Structure 1
Amino acid sequence: MLLYLSNLKRWSLLIYSIFSAIVTVIYIMFNSTFYKLDLVRYSNDIDYYNKMSAILPKGLLQLNGNFSQLDSPLLIIVYLLGILICLIFLILNWNPYYKRTYTPLISMLGFLLPLLIRNGENIIWMLLLGLIIAFIGSIFYVFAVGKTYK
């Protein structure tokens, strides 16, 4: 039982990063608009050209609602819970010196990124960048505490 709990401490940040990526991708799939660009119509129709020229800088895949900020309660809760889990693992590995690691801070930065930074007009890029950083940080965490929890 003690070995199971130590493996859970080791792998849970990575499991949560994968879970948050799945929730985010499912949310983007069901709450987004994908604009298809018809190149022939884009070059011939001036009204279509003006409409698509306004859409193209924001990206062809956009979340419905406010494009520049995260306003979904589900995603805000998922990312805040990720920050809390990162803090818990930072505290769990802080007290004994041989287990001390700062790698949960990388994952915490990944979970904080979409909540704090508004880069451009489309929040999807910040969500994906934050998930990539959180995933990389959780992989580093697994490697950093691998020998201490065996």
Structure 2
Amino acid sequence: MNPLFSSLKRWLLLIYTIFATIITVIYIMFNSTFYKLDLVKYNNDIDYHNKMSSILSKGLLQLNGNFAQLDSFLLIFVYVLGILICFISLLLNWNTYNKRTYTPLISMLGFCLPLTVHNGENILWMVLLGLIIAFVGSIFYIFAIGKTYN
């Protein structure tokens, strides 16, 4: 087996978790930098609401001003792809007993958390918690399979 492919199977989950974290941080930076949305004024002033809704619906990341749920196609795609990568990592280690590990399920839980749980008025806490769980799960995955792919 190709050593590069073996190393990629071991490190893919951690690399993708770092990639998902970078994409999420860039998304949050765009959200807070380019679209300074005053939520109180957005909810109370109908003219401001209409103006910001027209701007946000045509924005770079399709922000809609609702921070209670995850509506961005970009972030939903990143987290669904993370779930698929976790599932593939689980299947790659299912063939033999000495490589079998359930640790990709921890990362899968981390990627599922922002998509399923809506805690109160700000989804960013669920995104942060989900990324921390996914990162910890990917670290455990690397330790669990050890030098199997070396």
Structure 2 match to 1:66: 66
Matches within 5 A, 1:4-23: 4-23=4-23
Deviations 1:50-95 (A, max 9, x none): x6xx9xxxxxxxx861111000000000000000000001011011
Q: How many residue pairs get matched?
A: 127
Unaligned runs of 5+ in 2: 44-62
Q: In the alignment, which residue of structure 2 is the partner of 1:45?
A: none
The corresponding residue for 2:51 is none
The structure with the larger Rg is 1
Q: RMSD in angstroms over aligned alpha carbons?
A: 2.1
SS of equivalent residue, structure 1 residue 101: coil
Tell me which of the two structures has the higher relative contact order, counting C-alpha pairs closer than 8 angstroms and 6 or more residues apart: 1
Q: 2:84 matched to which residue of 1?
A: 84
Name the counterpart of 1:137: 137
Correspondence for 2:120: 120
Q: 1:24 matched to which residue of 2?
A: 24
Per-residue deviation, 1:34: 6.6
TM-score, length of structure 2 as denominator length:
0.78
Task: String of CA shifts for 1:79-112, please: whole Å, max 9, x gaps.
Answer: 0000000000101101111100000000000000
Displacement after TM superposition at 1:4 (Å): 1.1
Q: Distance in 2 between matches of 1:71 and 1:135?
A: 23
Runs of at least 4 residues off by over 6 Å: none
Identity %: 73
> 2 CA distance for matches of 1:141 and 1:104?
6
Asked if the contact 2:64/2:71 (under 8 Å) is kept, the reply is: no
- The reply on whether 1:106 has 2:106 as its aligned counterpart is yes
Q: For structure 1, list consecutive stretches of 5 or more residues without a partner in the other structure.
A: 36-50, 55-62
CA–CA distance in 2 between the matches of 1:30 and 1:94? 40
**Cα deviations by residue, 1:5-26 (Å, 9 ceiling, x for unpaired):** 1110000100000000000000
